[in-house]
Amino acid sequence: MAFLLNRLDVTIVRPLIRPFIKTSFAALFAGLVTILFGYLVLNEPSLPLLFGNLDVQFVRNLLPQAHQFILQTLIFGVVFLATSYLIQAEHVLDLFSLTRKSKED
């Protein structure tokens, strides 16, 4: 992608690279934390499934499924927003009307 951006003079894409990288990093980090939380705390089999172990069984009852879904969704959201705040991903923070005050203010 960097090669194409250097070869082609595309001015509309260049300002989007830094926010894209910040948002991608925040989402990947939040996903990793969520998967580790599910595996270590909830004993959820997504991590072994990710590494190729196809002999896993998920919970089939409604309440444990809802509990895992709500908890993992909240963990992802909180970690995503916290990471976005820490790395100053302004585009993500603007979506949720959150701003980080600079030290100069």
Distance CA 8, CA 93 (A): 31
83: left (phi over 0), alpha (psi -120 to 50) or beta: alpha
Eight-state DSSP code of residue 37: H
Percent of the chain scored above 90 by pLDDT?
A: 44
Q: What is the pLDDT of residues 23-65, one digit of tens each?
A: 999 999 999 999 999 999 988 888 888 888 888 888 889 999 9
Give the closest residue to 80 by CA, choosing from 92, 95, 90. Answer: 92
pLDDT, residue 47, reads 86
pTM of the complete model: 0.76
Q: In three state form, how does the secondary structure of 55-99 look?
A: CCCCCCCHHHHHHHHHHHHHHHHHHHHHHHHHCCCHHHHHHCCCC
Average pLDDT of the chain, as a whole number:
84
